[in-house]
Structure 1
Amino acid sequence: MSAPIRKRRWLTICAISASAALVAIPAGAAPGRGGSPFGARNLARLAAEREQSVRHITAKVKADDGGDDGNEADEIAEGADQYAEARTSPGIVAPGAYGAAWQSLRNLPGTGGSWHNITNLPYNSDDSRYRDVDSNSSGGSGNVTGRMAAMAADDHGYVYAGSAGGGVWRSRTGGGHWQPISDQLPSQSTGALALDGAGRLWLGTGEANTNADAYLGSGVYVLSDPHHGTFSTRSRVGGDELQSTTIRQLRFGGGKVWAATSEGVWSHSTKNLRGPWKLEYAPNPDYLPGGSKAHDDAAAYKNITNDIAIDPKDPSKVILAVGWRSGDDYNGFYTKAGGTWQRITSGFGDLPTDAGNVGTVTFARSADGSRYYAIDESPAQMASNPDSGLEGIYSAASPFGPWTKIADYKQLAADGSALTTAGYMPGVQAWYNQFLTVDPANPKHVYAGLEEVYETKDGGATWSTVGPYWNFTFPCWSIDPAKQTGDCSQTTHSDQHGVAIGSYHGKSYVYVGNDGGAYKRPVNGSQDASGHATDWTSLNDGTIDTLQYYSVGVGKDLDHGGVLVTGGLQDNGQSILRSNDKVMGSNFGGDGGDTLTDPANGCNMAEEYVYLAVQITQNCAVNDGSWTTDASKATSYNVAPADNATSEARFIAPLATDMKNSSTWIAGGRHVWVQTHGYAIRSGSEWKSVHDLGAGRTATAVAASGGKVYAAWCGPCNEQGFARGISVGNADGTGWHDITLPATGADGTVPNRYLSGFAIDPKNADHVFLAVNGFSRHWTEGPGAGFGHVFESTDGGTTWKDISANLPDVPTDSAVVTANGGLAVATDLGVVYRAPGHTKWQRVGRLPAVAVLQLKLSADGSTLYAATHGRGIYTIRVRDCG
């Protein structure tokens, strides 16, 4: 039995989702602090800390093809930085920017027409049609969708799944047959879900995983009839106090609901939902909005709180778990003594109380209150231990201790973990992956989630990895497509975030949410000899589409007629949808970045992993399961240009084909790369560097038509000295020069912000449009932020004109010129359109409030495709746009 070859690793993407990092807001956004519900300023501050926070989680993985060591944790940090940079540089963005943008977008006239979701069908990561060497097929996670941040379930078969950026979904059948129930809320990002004793469903918005695409929220909402109702803006609890925060946990006790947020711990009556939230404790109140240090770069992580443990026998006794994952002197556990909150410094037993060893923490307690459990991530260990940041899992008879350590990463690794076969140890991302719950019927029966799912039935004396990271390299694994995942049982997707226990038809199930969606198994399920569960069921049946796309590609399906659609996804590889498919497949694994697809033959495609690690296939990467590196038999080829090996490309780097010659490709890193073999390319050596953008610079967008190439770049790309520019030249390497852009982004000129996309007029290569990310200087505290988001040049980029007109002040990500001369633009809050001959913008249809990262046209130009980062791929007829 051969071992898997060059498997793409999920861990890279876990925390990035390179996409989205801020907010998305649907209709009806109520104004909050600063006049709107969202704050983008936190992004920049968190981005500045991200690299430090994960730099030392340095599990090294040697690429099987002999490439460089892959530092997965550093990739997470850098991808997070870069997604935030695009939206915040050259400075800090003030709270309220997204809320104001959404209000403006709602006020735009609509174009008519309706979007159609084409990815609302099962997406099988194990699809045996695409068992290519670079796929994750046969890994065992089955049907997947986008990241689930929180789960809740009751004893009547109702299950609730809260996604990272695609809203909250309900199942009436114990999982599956999902319906969205939060589309009318001003935030589609979930931080916490909880059912109270009265059966009400509580939603805390704002994902609290501190990753790149964790969106801020608009507060807490309650649904009195979760079996039948839907959330509305009228169901918000309290006032504006929790706007522009993330909420990690909601806990109940003493007639109160407690919220652990990014701006302290708050409480509110569960009986009277009106009136303001009460700030119970903030370790550094000067850094809160309105405080003397609110504008400090450190403000975003100076009041992060993680969880609350309440003694059910005496709800006045409360423990707060407080602290930023990378460590700060305020990190620790707090309780009230003498009417004020005091740090606990002794009597906790094995559970550390010193600031350096208290990071991200999750509590759980048994239904009878006899046992408490906790997971603790250690900032000190994360900074010094390349294997794991997990301090341990603990148990106590009281939240006040003494606590006993019942597991560490070495013990979990020895109990059937698959992480060790991937070059990691359990808890390598304990700052990002955590859940914990106790079986209501057995106080010693615990489920813990890190990168994998672990179970103990004896209070922690022994553990089993019931949800291993994947099945690769296990003795039971087989590539035989007839066996699907071989002799191994299905597992869950990696990177765990949410958990709940509920019943359906009298049987108890545990429900887990992770970077691949939602899964369940019987609470007292079966295991094989290795301790791996044999009874996981994926609940991602296609009725729940929270897929997080970076890109989309469209081409003819020559084998079946119709259209083939593909796209790159956060942590879920590359999807492929044939015209006759009832189930969507995955032909490349890991992260999926940018995508090139041959309009004339969709099975000719190129996909980017990260950093310009480009793979191509000319048969959709279909094979018979016989993996090989023999070039004469291979179905996909690694053709990365040299900037991939030297790490001189963006995490999600730009790719493009020449509009007039599909055999000419452009790739952007530090260099502008050109190859002229089209999909017949077989080696990275076939790329030619036609222009060096310069040391410290890297391409953010590329486009070409008739041999004329445009390349936008940044360098430095963060707010410290941020600089941007445009280089123009020819694909044959001649005529390259930098466009002169005002360094300060003077009014009416291209701002000193991140340049995210070009759209070339197919009739004239000198006529080009430019999409500009970030926010104007009205919101951005940075030099040259300027105004405007869409610019036009009629002289090949020599001069530019601001054509933003009534376009909302919102980050723009992509643009396309339609066949009739109209211009469609993708933004972080939807799609807008300018009809030919007009100067004003219209809103295109009514997409869910998620970022649209890329737009593409069908081969005949009749249909517009939108890659959203949280609700899949949508289409609309171009004729309905104008």
Structure 2
Amino acid sequence: MSAVTLTAFGLTTTQALAAPAPAAPGAKPVPVQRLTETGQKHAQKIRGKAAADQAFTAKSKAEGGGEDESDEAENSAEGTAQYTEARTAPGIVAPGAYGAAWAQLQSMPHTAGSWDHVTEKPYNSDDPRYRDVNSNSSGGSGLVTGRITGIAADKDGYVYAGGANGGVFRSRTGGGHWEPIADKLPTLSTGTLNLDAGSRLWYATGESNTGATSYVGTGVYVLSDPKHGEFQPGNRVGGAELESTIIHALRFGGGKVWAATSRGVWSHSATTLSGPWTMEFAPNPEYLPGGSKAGDPAAPYKNIANDIAIDPKDPNKVVLAVGWRSGDTYNGFYGKAADGTWQRVGSLGDLPTDAANVGNVTFARSADGSRYYAIDQSPAVMASDPDTGLKGIYVSKSGSPFGPWTQIADKDKLKNSGSALQDAGYQPGIQAWYNQFLQVDPANPDHVYAGLEEVFETTDSGTTWATVGPYWNNGFPCWSIDPAKQTGDCSPTTHSDQHAVAFGSYQGKATVYVGNDGGIYRRPTNGQLDAYGHAKDWTPLNDGTIDTLQYYSVGVGKDPADRSGRGVIVSGGLQDNGQSILRAHDKVMGSNFGGDGADTLVDPANGCNIAEEYVYLDMWVTQNCAVNDGSWTKDPSKATSYEVAPPDKDTSAARFIAPITSDPKDGNTWIAGGRHVWVQHKGYAIRSGSEWTSAYDLGDGHVATAVATVDGTVYAGWCGPCNNVGFSRGIAVGKTDGTGWHQLNLPVDGTLPNRYISSFAVDEKDAQHVLVAFNGFSRTWTEGPGAGVGHLFETRNGGATWTDISANLPDVPATSVKILPNDGLALGTDLAAFYRAPGTSDWRVLGRNLPTTSVQQLKTGPDGKLYAATFGRGIWSFDLRRLGHGRYDETDD
């Protein structure tokens, strides 16, 4: 679960479930479930994660992140307003920023060489090699990949899956053997996928979540021959009207396609694809681009549309579900009046229509038109109940979106259907603002799949429910941590956090596909249930040919088990998928650390020495790759990882993804950044958080965003406040022994922009020679105090003076800078990686073949390669020998 309240596998099951679940039709009664002793021990680590997330929620509310405050708007996904803050502060980014950067990227020359896809392998979250207290392993999710936010499927076994920031993949075999088909588009951010009646594939870009790590898109694209073709930029429907929006849903009726976006509801002819989109309804048009309040910090949250319901008997009758998840006066359902204006719907039966109880809504219509279903997330419930935001699930048995609607489920009914959430102190719908899908079996209007954190199924229009995809297996009596028993007697489940669903056919059998934070899964539409009301027949389709993994970090070190001495271990921290580890001769990646992964340190000389960060600076260390030989199941003291978090392990004292680093000339010296700059000199032999010392206090309200050190000199970038209201940043410089610390003079109107500091590169030959990268967009696109111009700056005197060396770089957020062994520079950004050769001033795109997605971190490995952790397409490597040693003496252009 990747949000402020929970993270994947961040739940605990610590006592008996309160009540047995009602049996699904045809199933055996569900027994009361008791947590095993081993399960209690396994949950101890996870409890701390959930507690940290709850603390962040409380902090957000205490700081006034209320109903329509813009910073609360982003503080809910992954605990991190921080991801979005880094790209927006100190102001609001105008539409078109990413599009302009992508257009410039197309005209830039490339260096020689191509990138190699490192993580194009299956990733087994249940890998028995790493089955101990700190890993996800044995939870039951099996093979995973990154967040899937759109799915479409047909009757011929073709399946289309869209990654959150990974683009569209096609399978011709009912799932598996995937191939990317949208990599030529300017964005890989997926809102939704739909197959229309003519078998055309519609791709709405702009991830359909209001989470902090969701990217906006560039509109809607249509592929007329999805079985054989690939999306091209010329496939876009209409003009630029939907650029820089999030598209929550596409709905079809009356010859039109309707789009629910973050800037209102739009429509377009579904047959004539040229011509502009038509604005149908925006509740607060003054906040739209060009409006009188477009520059207001709340503008992005004033016109959010979530879904559209079209009457199957009369396509002129339409209901719009509109509203911001945390509540606003405009929230509600709207229908068109006789005079052609959109008016708030006053009553729909059980389905609430008041602004306080209409939040994120998803509709689903049966194929025969006899039923409409809806999920409603309530701002009022979310504000008053710390354990859920769900108001309910509803049905209109008239088939009309105007009802009357009847409630068929609430959190209590769902939690008693076999949910794995309740014992953690949470209820179904805890993240209903983030986790939602709803779909009706085309062959049975009473058969419905609903997705929240878990997957629920009803075969009788909501009279009874079954949790067919529980959050995880940990805690159920069938569960076992023993590698010899795999997941015990538990049936495999899906990953948590549901986002997409589709029905199709595989080998002539009706099949349902679900997408979540762990990828895409399938089961027979009318599958089997076990004694707990859980599905017995989920199959993960994440075979490694689909890689939508969202990495925050990467680390590389020599594999001590490789006899050649050349093999390496590649490890990295992931959104909602823990820490991955790929050893030199592995055919399958494993997960040796659970929850959300964050920053990573790997010993270049021995890749089994790994420091893995959870979130908020909660660091753990292993010196054996976290391989467990099974002894932990007999003696809990024999863990393979040790918690070594500095004292700033707190939501108010560290960023969600807090920076950590080591001295490249002294691998035993580590720096960790929270409110304080922490130092320790034991390297991977550290065993306790008490072994850190504070070298410097950045100040009340300040937290580190980037740290670097060489030869005892430390550079620490910080922000505080970090949101766009009163944003401030700075750079502190000092020694690891605590001496010589001072703040550099960085006036808001000075050379360096007043934007988020994302990365440093310190010259190993001269610690006074430093590069600093800035996130966000420059003054062209950002309205805010001191936004400035440029993304990369250089000093040769320890920060006394700086020079902008951005040159011809596109105006796009910069994330990671590296000084390469040949003294060239590499820079990771939200669109590509770039290279500047020694002795030159211009930049080129680094190599070819790297997908157009966010490069979060660059690291060099002991094998002479540069590694890129991308947030949506896994880890890639580039052989630096292709760059030569001087100017562009090897080039593809």
Specify if TM > 0.5.
yes
> Cα distance, 1:803 vs. partner?
1.5
CA distance in 2, matches of 1:674, 1:389: 41
Aligned to 1:277: 277
1:642 partner SS: coil
Contact 2:347–2:353 under 8 Å retained in 1: no
- Give the counterpart letter for 1:661 in structure 2: D
Aligned to 1:873: 875
2:79 partner SS: helix
CA distance in 1, matches of 2:330, 2:877: 49
Closer/same/farther in 2, CA of residues 628 and 682 from structure 1, 3 Å limit: farther
CA distance in 2, matches of 1:49, 1:494: 28
> Cα distance, 1:6 vs. partner?
2.8
Q: Which of 313-322 and 201-210 deviates more? A: 313-322
- Give the counterpart letter for 2:860 in structure 1: L
Aligned to 2:230: 230
2:860 equivalent to 1:857: yes
Aligned to 1:38: none
- For residues 588-635 of structure 1, the C-alpha deviation after alignment (integer angstroms, 9 at most, x for no partner) is 011100000000000000011001100000000000244379796221
Contact 2:758–2:814 under 8 Å retained in 1: yes
Contact 1:170–1:181 under 8 Å retained in 2: yes
CA distance in 2, matches of 1:78, 1:208: 15
> Cα distance, 1:745 vs. partner?
3.6
Aligned to 2:212: 212
CA distance in 1, matches of 2:298, 2:784: 16
2:693 equivalent to 1:688: yes
Q: Which of 690-699 and 639-648 deviates more? A: 639-648
Aligned to 1:783: 785
1:643 partner SS: coil
- For residues 733-755 of structure 1, the C-alpha deviation after alignment (integer angstroms, 9 at most, x for no partner) is 222222222x1242xx2222111
Which of 559, 580, 594 matches 2:599?
594
2:143 partner SS: coil
CA distance in 1, matches of 2:298, 2:755: 22
CA distance in 2, matches of 1:833, 1:750: 21
- For residues 71-111 of structure 1, the C-alpha deviation after alignment (integer angstroms, 9 at most, x for no partner) is xxx7x457331112211222222222222222222322211
Contact 2:337–2:343 under 8 Å retained in 1: no
Contact 1:13–1:570 under 8 Å retained in 2: no
> Cα distance, 1:341 vs. partner?
3.7
Contact 2:217–2:245 under 8 Å retained in 1: yes
1:473 partner SS: coil
Closer/same/farther in 2, CA of residues 739 and 441 from structure 1, 3 Å limit: same
> Cα distance, 1:316 vs. partner?
1.5
CA distance in 2, matches of 1:313, 1:244: 34
CA distance in 2, matches of 1:807, 1:274: 33
CA distance in 2, matches of 1:137, 1:573: 10
Closer/same/farther in 2, CA of residues 460 and 78 from structure 1, 3 Å limit: closer
Closer/same/farther in 2, CA of residues 614 and 371 from structure 1, 3 Å limit: same
- Give the counterpart letter for 2:381 in structure 1: Q
> Cα distance, 1:269 vs. partner?
1.4
CA distance in 2, matches of 1:623, 1:735: 44
Q: Structure 2 matches for 1:394-543, cutoff 5 A?
A: 394-396=394-396, 397=398, 398-543=400-545
Closer/same/farther in 2, CA of residues 634 and 202 from structure 1, 3 Å limit: same
Closer/same/farther in 2, CA of residues 78 and 482 from structure 1, 3 Å limit: closer
> Cα distance, 1:49 vs. partner?
3.6
CA distance in 2, matches of 1:53, 1:678: 39
1:105 partner SS: helix
Contact 1:47–1:84 under 8 Å retained in 2: no
Q: Structure 2 matches for 1:793-804, cutoff 5 A?
A: 793-804=795-806
Aligned to 2:309: 309
Q: Structure 2 matches for 1:7-26, cutoff 5 A?
A: 7-8=45-46
1:729 partner SS: strand
> Cα distance, 1:454 vs. partner?
0.1
Aligned to 1:25: none
- Give the counterpart letter for 1:212 in structure 2: A
Q: Which of 311-320 and 192-201 deviates more? A: 311-320
Contact 2:622–2:640 under 8 Å retained in 1: yes
CA distance in 1, matches of 2:309, 2:812: 40
Contact 2:309–2:318 under 8 Å retained in 1: yes
- Give the counterpart letter for 1:529 in structure 2: A
1:286 partner SS: helix
- Give the counterpart letter for 2:429 in structure 1: G
> Cα distance, 1:46 vs. partner?
12
> Cα distance, 1:656 vs. partner?
0.6
CA distance in 1, matches of 2:276, 2:639: 63
TM-score, length-normalised on structure 2?
0.90
Closer/same/farther in 2, CA of residues 286 and 510 from structure 1, 3 Å limit: same
CA distance in 2, matches of 1:10, 1:733: 31
> Cα distance, 1:409 vs. partner?
0.4
CA distance in 2, matches of 1:225, 1:473: 46
CA distance in 1, matches of 2:233, 2:421: 42
- Give the counterpart letter for 1:491 in structure 2: T
TM-score, length-normalised on structure 1?
0.91
Contact 2:70–2:298 under 8 Å retained in 1: no
Contact 2:72–2:81 under 8 Å retained in 1: no
Aligned to 2:99: 99
CA distance in 1, matches of 2:255, 2:670: 63
2:866 partner SS: strand
- For residues 143-178 of structure 1, the C-alpha deviation after alignment (integer angstroms, 9 at most, x for no partner) is 111101111111010111111100011110011111
CA distance in 2, matches of 1:506, 1:779: 51
- Give the counterpart letter for 1:224 in structure 2: S
> Cα distance, 1:329 vs. partner?
1.5
2:708 partner SS: strand
2:823 partner SS: coil
Closer/same/farther in 2, CA of residues 766 and 583 from structure 1, 3 Å limit: same
Please list every run of 5 or more consecutive structure 2 residues that lacks an aligned counterpart in the other structure.
1-35, 57-64, 889-893
Closer/same/farther in 2, CA of residues 305 and 15 from structure 1, 3 Å limit: farther
Closer/same/farther in 2, CA of residues 118 and 14 from structure 1, 3 Å limit: farther
CA distance in 1, matches of 2:357, 2:178: 40
Contact 1:830–1:849 under 8 Å retained in 2: yes
> Cα distance, 1:523 vs. partner?
0.5
- Give the counterpart letter for 1:558 in structure 2: P
Q: Which of 218-227 and 643-652 deviates more? A: 643-652
2:357 equivalent to 1:351: no
Closer/same/farther in 2, CA of residues 713 and 346 from structure 1, 3 Å limit: closer
Closer/same/farther in 2, CA of residues 388 and 472 from structure 1, 3 Å limit: same
Q: Which of 250-259 and 570-579 deviates more? A: 250-259
CA distance in 2, matches of 1:870, 1:47: 30
Contact 1:10–1:494 under 8 Å retained in 2: no
Q: Which of 422-431 and 533-542 deviates more? A: 422-431
Which of 612, 635, 638 matches 1:633?
638
CA distance in 2, matches of 1:536, 1:108: 45
Contact 2:52–2:651 under 8 Å retained in 1: no
Q: Structure 2 matches for 1:720-869, cutoff 5 A?
A: 720-741=725-746, 743-746=747-750, 749-846=751-848, 847-860=850-863, 862-869=864-871
Aligned to 1:702: 707
> Cα distance, 1:270 vs. partner?
1.5
Aligned to 2:247: 247
- Give the counterpart letter for 1:360 in structure 2: N
Contact 1:501–1:508 under 8 Å retained in 2: yes
Aligned to 1:131: 131
Q: Structure 2 matches for 1:40-189, cutoff 5 A?
A: 49=69, 52=72, 76=76, 79-189=79-189
CA distance in 1, matches of 2:95, 2:812: 13
> Cα distance, 1:422 vs. partner?
2.8
Contact 2:295–2:783 under 8 Å retained in 1: no
Aligned to 2:7: none
Closer/same/farther in 2, CA of residues 48 and 596 from structure 1, 3 Å limit: farther
> Cα distance, 1:50 vs. partner?
5.9
2:342 equivalent to 1:337: no
